[in-house]
Amino acid sequence: MGKLKVAVGKLNFEFPGIVASGIMDETGDSMVRMFKSGAGAVVTKSIGSKPRPGHSNPTFTEVECGYVNAMGLPNPGIDMFEKEIKTASSEGPVIGSIFGGDEKEFAYLASRMEEFGAVAVELNLSCPHAAGYGAEIGSDPEMIVSVVSEVKSSVDIPVWAKLTPNTSSIQALGRAAEKGGADAVVAINTLKAMVICPELRKPVLSNKFGGLSGPGIKPVGVRAVYDLYSSLNIPVIGVGGITCWRDAAEYIMAGASAYQMGSAIGITGPEVFNEINEGLVSFMKEHGYETVKEMVGVAHE
Amino acid sequence: MNNVVKIIGKTRESHDTFTFDFKSDIPAKPGQFVMVWIPGVDEIPMSLSKTGEVKSITVKGIGEATNALHTMNAGDYMRIRGPYGNGFDLNGKKKILAVAGGVGAAALLPAIAETGCDTVIGARTEKEIILDKQAKDYSNNVWISTDDGTRGYHGNAVELAKEKIISEKYDLVIGCGPEIMLFFLHKACKELKVDCQLSLERHMKCGTGVCGCCVIDAERVCKDGPVFTSEQLDGLSDFGNRKRDECGCIINLR
């Protein structure tokens, strides 16, 4: 399994698969379980300044090609989260995901995450379903520059920017993150989506719209990673619809230095990380790759 | 998965509890649950109280969502997701005792129907006892306990269950009810050296093992549970002690 070691900037991970924010990462114990299932790192649920219940149920529903959710950024607040990070960090690298309403709030939350022992912070500039947060900030390149640079000036750990695909040019958002000093970009967050129940004549989610994740968005994510890899000099982390080693390989060949998974934990289970690790190792053996790095971006050649 | 069903029957079980029947050919096991949408109000997990082609949920009015569900009638549409969760593992167990606390009887009824097992149904007082008549359709021994002695055994369900475990010698105890009751039922089963499988509850959102908000220690109640074995319960420090609210903040149970 030594073949699977990857680096994202100055960070080294034992395995290329990282738990995406919002899935099995609200508690220390669940993050530990994900490390034991073969995740190289875990991104926490997005944490804000205060406890927040998120939207009322229904916050989630299955569709043919994945899931549509509008959780609405539920989280226990940064103060309560110290304990969870401490529990998880003893078993592996934890990346603290944070969301704020402005630059100052992001910078404050990032410095708390650093203090708790997070190895990096991931800025949620892309949640599609929480008013005043996420994509409402992260759709504006100037705002991205401003948030990223403010966070960069307040912490020493690497800063990752998670981007929204709900835009005409994700490259413009990526370039803004790079300009602000981001150490890596993460793409993609969910695609804005809606489910209506015909018999009850209403959108199912209490928030009406939400974000689509899962296998249906994989080609969209692969394209986004491909384009970002072409236009940026910082590492790209791929996320969106990965459920098997072939999907992971696609993202890596499009240019991802590492990949994240979320929905697959519901579809297959936490063990999906180990399964993909094994699948990648056999693929690499058969095709003569010594390291994951050798595969990164090969689809561009 | 997603399923819109039509309510085909509504039965009053007690002063504050109704059963809603609906048809669905999706296979379900005793102990599984569905997420039920109450448009404009909420979506909540409900145990199936029948698991055949005709399925049902039995709803005690305890809050906004369950009271809103009570206003529904035969002919109304209901959107459910599921069935979810592992359910009870009843294979190869010869002699089973089901122990229900209050509306927990709903989650056990399909297992009682499938196995005809002996049953203890406990509640605070007589008018809170539900589904005892239905349990009697399948089981020869249905014993009732009330905390205030208004019906049956004067005491709680765990005390009565302990007496029955000692006198009847069971292979397995299955249980559903308030967590404190289950905590002491688990303890009693360990003392009396009988296996148990208990159905737990936590605040749920996705219902299908994705979001992780219902974890008890690192186990997802919606997907790894809701039924946990005696051995699993031994390793769960949250069991009987802590749960989390919708923000993920810890709430102490005692």
Number of domains in chain B: 2
- Which residues on A lie below 8 Å from B244 (Cβ)? 26-27, 76
- Please indicate if any CB of chain B lies within 8 Å of the CB of A166: no
* A204 contact B CB<8A: yes
Give the integer Cα–Cα distance in Å for A209 and A165.
15
Considering only CB atoms, which chain B residues are within 8 Å of A269?
A: 209, 223
Average pLDDT over residues B170-181: 97
From B30, B59, B84, the end of a domain falls on: B84
Q: Give the span between the Cα atoms of A71 and A56, in whole angstroms.
A: 8
What is the pairing mode between strands A236-239 and A184-187?
parallel
In-domain check, residue B89: no
Q: Residue B40: inside a domain, yes or no?
A: yes
Instruction: State whether B102 and B220 are in the same domain.
Output: yes
| Number of Cβ atoms within 10 Å of the Cβ of A56 | 18
Is the bond leading into A74 cis (omega within 30 degrees of zero)?
no
Q: Which of B84, B119, B139 is the last residue of a domain?
A: B84
Q: Which residues in chain A have Cβ-Cβ distances shorter than 8 Å to B208?
A: 60, 62, 266
Average pLDDT, chain B: 96
How far is the alpha carbon of A253 from chain B, nearest alpha carbon, in Å? 27
What ipTM score was computed for the predicted complex, to two decimals?
0.93
**pLDDT, position B249:** 92
Whether A282 and chain B come into contact, CB under 8 Å, resolves to no
Residues in B touching A80 (Cβ below 8 Å): 248-250
State the average pLDDT over residues A92-109: 97
Mean pLDDT over all residues of chain A?
Answer: 96
Considering just the CA atoms, what is the radius of gyration of chain A in Å?
A: 18
- The answer to whether position B91 is within a domain reads no
My answer on whether B49 and B139 are in the same domain is no
CATH of the domain at B62: 2.40.30.10
**Which residue among A53, A204, A265 sits closest to B209, beta carbon to beta carbon?**
A265
Q: Given an 8 Å threshold on Cβ–Cβ distance, is B2 in contact with A30?
A: no
Per the structure block, which two tokens stand in for A227? 């384009």
Q: How many whole angstroms separate alpha carbon A209 and alpha carbon B46?
A: 25
Give chain A's domain count. Answer: 1
Which residues in chain B are contacts of A30 at CB distance < 8 A?
212, 215, 218, 220
Q: Tell me, yes or no, whether B35 lies in a domain.
A: yes
- The CATH number that applies at residue A193 is 3.20.20.70
Residue B146's CATH number = 3.40.50.80
- Over residues B85-144, the pLDDT tens digits come to 999 999 988 899 999 999 999 999 999 999 999 999 999 999 999 999 999 999 999 999
**How many Å lie between the alpha carbon of A25 and the closest alpha carbon of chain B?**
7
**% of chain B residues with pLDDT over 70:** 99
Tell me what percent of the residues of chain A surpass a pLDDT of 70. Answer: 100
Confidence at residue A131, expressed as pLDDT on a 0 to 100 scale: 87
In angstroms and rounded to an integer, the radius of gyration of the C-alpha atoms of chain B is 17
Q: Do B212 and A58 touch (CB under 8 A)?
A: no
Cβ separation of A58 and B35 shorter than 8 Å?
Answer: yes
- pLDDT tens digit sequence for B70-81: 999 999 999 999
**Structure-token match 């989260």, residue found:** A81
Residue B219: which pLDDT band, with cuts at 50, 70 and 90?
A: very high
Q: What is the CA A19 to chain-centroid distance, rounded?
A: 7
Is B15 found in the same domain as B138? no
Residue among A77, A82, A37, A90 at smallest CA distance from A264: A37
Residues B32 and B118 in one domain: no
Share of chain B above pLDDT 90, in %: 96
Looking at the complex, does the CB of residue A29 fall below 8 Å from at least one CB of chain B? yes
Are B79 and B112 contained in the same domain?
no
To the query of whether residue A244 is one of the catalytic residues in this protein, the response is no
User: Given an 8 Å threshold on Cβ–Cβ distance, is B247 in contact with A74?
Assistant: yes
Pick the last residue of a domain from B84, B104, B132. Answer: B84
B42 closest CB neighbour out of A24, A30, A56 = A56
Angle at the Cα of B250 from the Cα atoms of B224 and B196, rounded to 5 degrees: 35
Q: How many CA atoms lie within 13 A of B178 on its CB side?
A: 13
Residue A106 three-state SS: helix
Given a cut of 70, whether residue B1 has pLDDT beyond it is no
Here the tokens at position A299 are: 């689809």
Q: Do B34 and B140 share a structural domain?
A: no
Residue with tokens 């296998």: A215
pLDDT, tens digit, 9 for 90 and up, residues A119-156: 999 999 998 888 888 888 889 999 999 999 999 999 99
Query: Is B124 within 8 Å of B146 (Cβ atoms)?
Result: yes
At A1, is the pLDDT very low, low, confident or very high (cuts 50, 70, 90)? low
- CB contacts of A27 in chain B (<8 Å) are 212, 215, 218, 244, 248
Does the CB of A271 have a partner CB in chain B at under 8 Å?
A: no
* pLDDT above 90: residue A257: yes
Residue ranges making up the domain that contains B78: 2-84
**Mean pLDDT for the stretch of residues B170-184:** 97
* Residue B29 maps to a domain: yes
Give pLDDT tens digits for A174-192: 999 999 999 999 999 999 9
Once rounded to an integer, what is the mean pLDDT over residues B181-190?
Answer: 97
Among A61, A202, A260, the residue to mutate for chain B (most B Cβ within 10 A): A61
Backbone phi and psi for residue B218, each to the nearest 5 degrees, phi listed first: -105, 10
- The answer on B200 and B143 residing in a single domain is yes
Q: Please judge whether A75 and B212 are an interchain contact, meaning their C-beta atoms are less than 8 angstroms apart.
A: no
Partners of A72 on chain B (C-beta within 8 Å) are: none
Q: Who among A51, A54, A199 is closest to B249 (CB)?
A: A51
Q: Which of A57, A83, A265 is the mutation pick for testing B, counting most B CBs within 10 A?
A: A57
Q: Tens digit of pLDDT for each residue in A16-58?
A: 999 999 999 999 999 999 999 999 999 999 999 999 999 999 9
pLDDT value at A218 more than 80: yes
Who contacts A278 (Cβ-Cβ below 8 Å, separation ≥6)?
Answer: A245
For residue A144, give its domain range. 2-300
